[in-house]
Amino acid sequence: MSKPVALYIAFSAAGLSAMAVAATAVRADMIDTSGMAAWEHCALCHSADGVSTMAKFPKLAGQRPRYIAKQLRDFRAKRRSNDGGPMLTNAGLLSEEQVEEVATYFAALPPPPPADGDLGPRAVATGERLFNEGKPEAGVAACATCHAGGGNPGVLAPRIEAQHAAYLEKQLMDFRAGVRDNDPDGLMRSVAAGLSEAEIAAVAAYAATLEQPEGAAP
């Protein structure tokens, strides 16, 4: 190989490498997130109004701020995970100040509208009974005891009215299987263990149709 040809190949290879690096840098900087508030990052999945359109992402509007903050801290500390672990990464990027910022923002939003649809009389009856009365024979307390309205001040439980039914069902099934275990004193694991799959589906569907009260929850 002649010297000019060798030099041409070397310079061409170097040029291609430089172009590849430049292209990578351009792709990485296509979206500038430097000026975004912490809650805006969350809004990409949970929506700016806190009412997500996909059931895999819970609705956060009107949620108890202390509950949102606890879940973010649990994700950050790997006490809780989710499918594929994206929340571990996302929460891990938040400072303690930003955790409070996110929780305060979403909690102050108007609550989501309840779901509509015909659940069928049997599902409604089962869901309503479990939500308001529980299942005493299995030691399952009524969901309303901790989750309805402002909830029980002594228990850090989320509001679940008007939440995605599929999301509620999955969380109960995860508690039942022990996949999710960041519930204080194993309370939700105990509750879910006392419910059948059909009962879990019914109470989740019923809770989704309930109207969440206005006003910030504690």
User: Which segments of the chain have a pLDDT < 50?
Assistant: 3-30
What pLDDT was estimated at residue 215?
Answer: 66
Q: Domain 121-208 is classified in which CATH homologous superfamily?
A: Cytochrome c-like domain (1.10.760.10)
What pLDDT was estimated at residue 36?
Answer: 86
What pLDDT was estimated at residue 14?
Answer: 44
| CB-CB contact of 60 with 68 (8 Å) | yes
CA distance 217 to 158: 9
Q: Is the pTM here over 0.85, yes or no?
A: no
Fold observed for domain 38-107: Cytochrome Bc1 Complex; Chain D, domain 2 (1.10.760)
What pLDDT was estimated at residue 30?
Answer: 47
CA distance 124 to 197: 15
141-164, pLDDT tens digit by residue?
999 999 987 666 677 999 999 999
Phi, psi of 23, deg, nearest 5? -65, -40
What pLDDT was estimated at residue 149?
Answer: 75
Neighbours of 144 (CB within 10 A): 19
CA distance 71 to 167: 15
What pLDDT was estimated at residue 33?
Answer: 59
What pLDDT was estimated at residue 20?
Answer: 42
What pLDDT was estimated at residue 44?
Answer: 94
**Domain-wise residue ranges, the chain:** 1-30, 38-107, 121-208
Q: Do domains 38-107 and 121-208 have the same CATH topology?
A: yes
